[in-house]
A = this chain, B = another copy of it.
């Protein structure tokens, strides 16, 4: 049902080689031929078959994006930026979700590899380096935040470190002495560990005592339950309870906030609140929520342009750095409640 290059050639009165040269822009072609071919292609609604052309040229014009959890909205701006940038240079984007599982990651990588992707952007850090390495050997340009930042001499830890330090310093200066970092339970993902270590080391020397609290549930997509309120209630109202709750993610935050509301814990009077991840809702919430904000658009731009650059795409501009995270203090952070810090 679809026209092939021979039909276009016949329609235009030239050879298939000429059609190919004109439409792909590679190789010489006279003005006459160019016009005739263009017209014929238009008339027949001809689109060259990507499979055939990939087979021949060994370039699929497809970029893969591997995301640890498609349920997490932070990946949306990421994905969007990758897609827009890719599209601008004629690339298609295949999304794959690893669901935080090493096995799924492997099978997804295999599928992407079989699809002959030209480049791969990993939004999280790879679990199976051998597998990824094999892709690289197969000629796929692979980028992930860790290797990217290391390549550019920009260790990942420093990206978030300054923002976390800012936040801790701010909290300490307001008289806070005890902080609870809340994250989902026994998660297979590693970010919460990285973040915890960052908070831990930032608190050092500020008189802030951090504590790590693990909540039930194991995904970004799990609904809140009443046990959340109970846990938070017991936590905050205990004798040496924290005066700061720090949520591990933008997705977790509303659940925690709901739990605090149920327990009648007022923010920021009884307890200050901070979360990783900004959003319009965090800003609109009353009190507006203090956040550690990451520019995922910029991160996506950095990774994508790096890949395009290494794929030899001209005009994609030089790769840029991933900008550092920023602490945005808002109304949810206030002075520590009286009597909370024994003089």
Contacts of A97 in B (CB 8 A): 80, 83-84, 87
Q: Report the minimal beta-carbon distance from A305 to chain B, rounded to whole angstroms.
A: 18
The reply to whether B71 and A73 form a contact with Cβ atoms under 8 Å apart is no
Q: Which residues of B contact A284 (CB under 8 A)?
A: 253-255, 257-258, 261, 285
With contacts A83-B96, A95-B83, A284-B254 taken as known, whether A52 is within 8 angstroms of B55 at the C-beta atoms is yes
Check if B83 sits within 8 Å of A76, measured CB to CB. Answer: no
CA distance A121 to B176 in the complex (A): 52
Q: Bound complex: CA of A220 vs CA of B62, how far in Å?
A: 27
Q: Is the CB of A108 within 8 A of B87?
A: yes
In the A-B complex, list the 9 residue pairs whose CB atoms are closest, starting with the nearest. Answer: A254-B284, A281-B281, A51-B54, A70-B80, A254-B280, A47-B114, A51-B55, A258-B284, A257-B284
Determine how many copies of this chain the complex contains. Answer: 2
Interface magnitude class on chain A: 35 or more
The one of B87, B94, B114 that contacts A49, using a Cβ cutoff of 8 Å:
B114
B281 lies within 8 A of A285 (CB): yes
Residues of B contacting A43 in the complex (Cβ-Cβ under 8 angstroms) = none
Contacts of A76 in B (CB 8 A): 70-71, 73, 75-76
Knowing A51-B54, A76-B76, A284-B258 touch, does A94 contact B92 (C-beta < 8 A)? yes
Q: A137–B1 contact, CB under 8 A?
A: yes
Residue A232, interface by CB 8 Å = no
B93 x A224 contact (CB < 8 A): no
Collect the chain B residues with CB atoms within 8 Å of residue A26's CB. none
Task: Assess whether A281 is in contact with B254, with CB atoms less than 8 Å apart.
Answer: yes
24 chain-A/chain-B pairs, Cβ below 8 angstroms: A1-B139, A2-B138, A2-B139, A47-B113, A47-B114, A55-B55, A71-B77, A75-B76, A83-B97, A84-B97, A87-B96, A90-B111, A92-B96, A93-B94, A93-B96, A94-B95, A224-B280, A254-B281, A255-B280, A255-B284, A258-B283, A258-B284, A281-B282, A284-B285
Q: Closest CB of chain B to A70's CB: distance in Å?
A: 4
Q: Which of B2, B70, B90, B283 contacts A83 (CB 8 A)?
A: B70
Q: Which of A164-212 contact B (CB under 8 A)?
A: none
Q: How far apart sit A76 and B75, CA to CA, in the bound complex (Å)? A: 9
Which residues from B are CB-within-8-Å of A62?
Answer: 94, 115
> Is A134 on the interface with B (CB-CB < 8 A)?
yes
